[in-house]
Every structure is written in structure tokens, then in C-alpha cells.
Amino acid sequence: MRLSARNTLKGTIKAIKPGAVNTEVIIELPGGGEIVSIITMESADNLGLAVGKEVYAVVKASNVMIMVD
């Protein structure tokens, strides 16, 4: 599969936390960092997500905001 998004991060699902409507998916990246995605329960089911499964987090945004204290 090919995508136009340039920010594709490969990782492993560390945890899946189903909610009433959405599911939180925590992906562990190489080096120990994590990225969290909130997707619909239906999408999580359709993708067959499971802890330990290798996945890609795809970030597509026109801008990224940075904040400091």
C-alpha cells in the first residue's frame, strides 16, 4: 500500500482501551516512545487490532503546534 503521508511510524500495539464509542490504541515505537490514537470501535474491529500486533501510525496534518512553559 502507498500513501501520500510522509509521517509513517511503525510500531507495536502496547494496549487497547475500548470505551463507550471509541477505542484508545497505544502504539510503542522503536526506542520506547509511544503514540496514542483514538479510533472508532468499528475501525478497531475491522482492522483486527490486538496487543502485540505490528501496525503503522500515519500522521497527516498541515501543521504541528509546539508549546513551552
The answer to whether 54 and 30 have CB atoms below 8 angstroms apart is no
Fold for 7-59, please state it: OB fold (Dihydrolipoamide Acetyltransferase, E2P) (2.40.50)
Q: Which three cell numbers stand for residue 10?
A: 511503525
The answer to whether 52 and 11 have CB atoms below 8 angstroms apart is no
The answer to whether 59 and 9 have CB atoms below 8 angstroms apart is yes
pLDDT tens across 9-19, in order? 999 999 999 99
pLDDT tens across 18-53, in order? 999 999 999 999 999 999 999 999 999 999 999 999
Kindly report the pTM of this predicted structure: 0.84
